Structure formats: C-alpha cells, structure tokens
Amino acid sequence: MRKIDCFLFAFVLIPTLFVGCENPKNNEKVEDFFVEDTSEQFKKVDTLSEKSEKTSTLEIPIDPNLSPKDRAKVLDIINKKYLMGQFDPSTDSRFSFIDKRYLVNPAQAIYMRNEALEKFIAMQAAAQKDGISLKIMSATRPFDIQKAIWERKWQGKQQVNGYFIPDSLKGKDRALRILEWNSMPSTSRHHWGTDIDLNNVNPAYWTKDLGKKQYEWLTTHAHEYGFCQPYSEMGKNRPVGYQEEKWHWSYLPLSREFVKKYKEQIKNSDIGGFLGAETALEIGVVEIFVLGINPDCK
C-alpha cells in the first residue's frame, strides 16, 4: 500500500509499462513503478543529509525470543534516518540485492533486508510446491524514491486512482487523496526493507481465479515464515489508515520492532523535505497511517 507507487537501486521501468496489472485505473499504485528518467534512478541517492558507508553490523534477526541484550544490539543501529528511509540500501550490509528470479520484472534493481529476503525465498519455494507463484514487485524504497512518487501525484503529473488531482483540491484534502494508497516520504514501511508488494497491485486481481488462490495460500501459510499483512480489511479492527492491500506483506520479526521504534522516535513535526509535507501535522499522519495497521502486525 502504501504504499503503492542510486545506481544499484531503482525501479527500472519505462513510464508506459504496466507490470502485472490488468486495470491500472483500479489502483494508482501501479504507477509507482514508472520512472521518467531511468538513468537518474541508477545514480546513488545524493540528496540525503549524509551518504551511507558500508555498515558493519551484527546479522541478528529480531524476534520475540531474543534476549533484551541481543535485541538492544540490533536496535542500537536503528535511528531516525533509518526509519525515515534516509540511507542507501545498496551500501548497507544489512541489505541484499534481490536476484531477478524472485522479481515480477527482472530488470528491477531493488534491495531487501537480509533476514526478510531469506525467509521470502523459503516461502516462495514452499508456495511453488503447492502450485503457487510468488514474486516481488516492490521492496525497499528510500526517501528519495518515495518523494518522487509522492511529488508526481502532488503536482498532478501522475494519476491518482485513474485521474489527475484537480488544482482546486488543496492542502490537507489533496494529501488525503494521495494517502488513500500512497505513503508520504518518511512514513513508508517500504523504507525499512521488511515489506514487499507481491505479484500484482490491482485489488481486483486478488479476488478471483489465480490471485484468489495466491491470497488464500498467503493467509494460510505466510505467518509460518514471519510475514503479516499490515493493511488488512478496514473495519472495527482497523478503522483508520490506508485501503486494504492484499499484495503487501511485512516481515514481522523486524518490522514489529521498527514500528515500536518509529512510535517512540518520530513525530508528525519530523516529517518534511517534500511538497505538501506541511499537511503531515494537520493530518496526524504518524498516528493514522504509520500506526493504523493490522493489529496482528503490531
């Protein structure tokens, strides 16, 4: 969700290519995979406040069974910049390049947290034995990539749910229109390297035929590999946040901890550096959208 739209990190797709989607007007997240200038997307992220250096860290997966001491070792390297996507995953040893065999579009150059990727590979293999194909459409998106997606829509250069936002829609209302499906920069779970969009970002795809079978398999087995659907059906258990995303799955042993750290460290006033950022405080984007997730994923 929300999700849905560096020289080794990019979404390498031409603006008119739809990947794994039957009807783009059903969900603007399909447009998140469009890039106007692919050459620029292969440059390292250069607008962050600091350039990342190769990080030497303990490769300790975070899960509820870890001792407080071991968890502290891991969380010590999770700071505001990490949580807000202000780093370069291509130079961070906690991240791995995703091999093309696991991608919907083999031309993509994207990364994922090591622990999460390892579990996805195991999950994909198990699904394949049951005749279910699972491939990644989107994974880690740093701040600048999310900013590009957001600002194209804010400026009316990219459609939102099948149409361009009219100029008459201003401020908070304009932001809320985008936020139905797309995250503000600094607030996306895709910053963390734990969350993936699978197979197809068209909601209709997951309600019938092959997509329905894939979703049924995921709801039955994904938890066995540590994955949870953060943007579940909206209702009593999840009254606020993004629309339901059956394609969006999160590696819970890591992302659960990041949600806790985000709640502790980041305020709405910290959100900035992009067009429309002033609406974050008025909307309460942290409480409504970052924390407005499936209770099972908290």
As a 3-state breakdown, the chain gives helix, strand, coil percent values, each rounded to 5, of: 40, 10, 50
Enter the pTM of the model: 0.78
CB atoms within 10 A of CB 118: 16
pLDDT recorded at residue 71: 63
Q: Looking at the chain, list the stretches that DSSP marks H as alpha helix, in order from N- to C-terminal side.
A: 38-41, 68-75, 80-83, 114-129, 143-154, 171-179, 209-221, 252-265, 279-283, 285
Domains of the chain: 24-297 (3.30.1380.10)
Residue 277 CB-half CA count within 13 A: 15
Measure the CA–CA gap between 208 and 68, rounded to whole angstroms. Answer: 44
What CA–CA distance (Å, rounded) separates 105 from 252?
A: 25
Residue 62: what pLDDT? 55
Find the helix packing angle between 171-179 and 143-154, rounded to 10°. 120
Who's near 157: CB < 8 A, 6+ residues apart?
Answer: 164
Q: Give the range among 4-13, 65-74, 87-96 with minimum mean pLDDT.
A: 4-13
| Cis amide linkage into residue 5, ω under 30° from 0 | yes
Residue 245 has pLDDT above 50, yes or no: yes
pLDDT tens digits, one per residue of 179-232: 998 999 999 999 999 999 999 999 999 999 999 999 999 999 999 999 999 999
Confidence at 38, pLDDT banded by 50, 70, 90: very low
Mean pLDDT, residues 268-288:
97
Greater pLDDT, 197 or 4? 197
- CA–CA separation, 216 and 171 (whole Å): 39
pLDDT digits (tens, 9 = 90+) for 123-167: 999 999 999 999 999 999 999 999 999 999 999 999 887 889 999
